[in-house]
Structure 1
Amino acid sequence: MIDHPLLFAADALATLVFATTGALVASRKELDVFGFMWFAAITGVGGGTLRDLLLDVPVFWIENPFPLALCLGIAVVLHFTAHLVQSRMVLILWLDCFGLGFAAIAGTLKALDQGVAGLVAVIMGVFSGTVGGILRDTLGQEPSIILRREIYVTAAALGASATVLIAAAGESRLAAAATGFALVFALRGAALLRNLTLPGFRSRKGRDYP
């Protein structure tokens, strides 16, 4: 069975990347080492925690504390080395791109393993991919990526949807996950490089009724 190793790898990679972005935000705020740990942990496991609570399954980092230990270890290392990174905001954005892909696919696969409907699996993928970054930006008083006209949630939804459809077509979970991740990364990466956005709502005068 490849399902469990694949899910564990996707969760671990998502945790690793998101925890790094959280610690880098802590460095921008010049926090102490415990502040680094808090940001790394809340970013690294935030999305997966919400996913598991909604799916009513054991929270992944409580069942196996390795992801939490990974967050704390990254936080300590970056507390002493983050100053070596010249453009931390650019690095955060690109690492977040990777984390979004890994977490969205992990959330989708775990939901599928629970036998939920495809639409629910997509939503779980979106939650897994975006919640950690939202918490990081909100707590770090950074402009939340969810409130900017950037292609972010859309990328997670596209990758999660592709994963569900390919798995439903009878292809292997590995093929579904790889395709889903590639779509998330490609769309989000293109948005970063080309400043792509979706059309936003424009306020206009409402209709006058007699």
Structure 2
Amino acid sequence: MPFSASFIIEILGTISFTVSGVYSALQKRLDILGVLVIAFVTATGGGTIRDVLIGVTPVTWMRDLTLPCVILITTPATIIFRKKVRDYKITLFLFDAIGLGLFTIIGLQKGLSVSLHPAVCVVLGTVTGCFGSVVRDVLLNQIPTLFRTEIYATPSIAGGILYFVLLPVVDKTVVEVICIIFISGIRIIAFTRKWRFPSFL
């Protein structure tokens, strides 16, 4: 994997979702193997589904061991420093929001790399950003955040649209930074202000 802006984004996204997965597993009091599995599927789940959808097999983490190594380093580091954290839920939420922004951009880029329509790229970005947490929550026997009334996928979709609006007129790296901040920021603001979609029940 070449050293580039995309590489940095993917590494940061992997770290963010790994930390998110670790704290989710710690809340459920899993053993070390359980924590590692949850961290791994949180960090790779969305990207794996994305790669399968676009026919990139073996999937990215199987072809390049950089991401699995990042997960293997981040997981014990997070466990070691967990006592420094006072509120697992807030830490989990913040890293999940950051990972959402980072991985949405990676999904968009992967779609563009195989010349897909922008609308399809937005879908891939949303899948990449959201579905690692879906797999995590299912394994932890929780209703996935994506399927609850919380605003979760919407920032990813909006950020994907913003990406294609800005791309023709702004430098690509600048667009990536703007969209990552936009997606993560909207997710954080929606959570702190308790913005939710109405429930049917």
Give the TM-score normalised by the residue count of structure 1: 0.87
Please name the residue that 2:106 is paired with. 106
Residue 183 (structure 1) shift: 1.6
Residue 164 (structure 1) shift: 2.2
Cα distance change, pair 79–185 in 1 and its aligned pair in 2 (3 A): closer
Residue 195 (structure 1) shift: 0.6
Residue 165 (structure 1) shift: 2.5
Please name the residue that 2:51 is paired with. 52
Please name the residue that 1:9 is paired with. 8
Q: Using the TM superposition, name which of 22-31 and 126-135 deviates more.
A: 22-31
What letter matches 1:36 in structure 2? Answer: V
* In 2: Cα distance, 1:185 partner to 1:113 partner: 24
* In 2: Cα distance, 1:107 partner to 1:195 partner: 27
Instruction: Tell me the alpha carbon deviations over residues 98-128 of structure 1, each in whole angstroms, 9 at most, x when there is no partner.
Output: 0000000111112112111000100000000
Give the TM-score normalised by the residue count of structure 2: 0.91
Instruction: Tell me the alpha carbon deviations over residues 48-70 of structure 1, each in whole angstroms, 9 at most, x when there is no partner.
Output: 11111111124221221111111
* In 1: Cα distance, 2:41 partner to 2:127 partner: 14
* In 1: Cα distance, 2:172 partner to 2:109 partner: 8
Matches within 5 A, 1:110-189: 110-167=110-167, 169-189=168-188
* In 1: Cα distance, 2:94 partner to 2:173 partner: 23
* In 1: Cα distance, 2:73 partner to 2:193 partner: 34
Equivalent pairs counted in the alignment come to 199
Secondary structure at the counterpart of residue 11 of structure 1: helix
Unaligned runs of 5+ in 1: 203-210
Structure with bigger gyration radius: 1
Matches within 5 A, 1:22-33: 22-33=21-32
Please name the residue that 1:41 is paired with. 40
Secondary structure at the counterpart of residue 150 of structure 2: coil
Q: Using the TM superposition, name which of 127-136 and 5-14 deviates more.
A: 5-14
CA RMSD in angstroms, aligned pairs only: 1.8
Please say if residues 97 and 185 of structure 1, whose CA atoms lie closer than 8 Å, have aligned partners that are also in contact: yes
What letter matches 2:4 in structure 1? Answer: P
Please say if residues 18 and 43 of structure 1, whose CA atoms lie closer than 8 Å, have aligned partners that are also in contact: yes
Instruction: Tell me the alpha carbon deviations over residues 37-56 of structure 1, each in whole angstroms, 9 at most, x when there is no partner.
Output: 10110001111111111111
* In 2: Cα distance, 1:154 partner to 1:126 partner: 9
Cα distance change, pair 56–170 in 1 and its aligned pair in 2 (3 A): farther
Instruction: Tell me the alpha carbon deviations over residues 158-205 of structure 1, each in whole angstroms, 9 at most, x when there is no partner.
Output: 1111112222x2533212212211220221111011111234447xxx
Please say if residues 162 and 179 of structure 1, whose CA atoms lie closer than 8 Å, have aligned partners that are also in contact: no
Q: Using the TM superposition, name which of 14-23 and 179-188 deviates more.
A: 179-188
Unaligned runs of 5+ in 2: none
Matches within 5 A, 1:77-116: 77-116=77-116
* In 2: Cα distance, 1:56 partner to 1:128 partner: 14
Please name the residue that 1:191 is paired with. 190
Please name the residue that 1:206 is paired with. none
| Percent of matched pairs sharing the same residue | 26
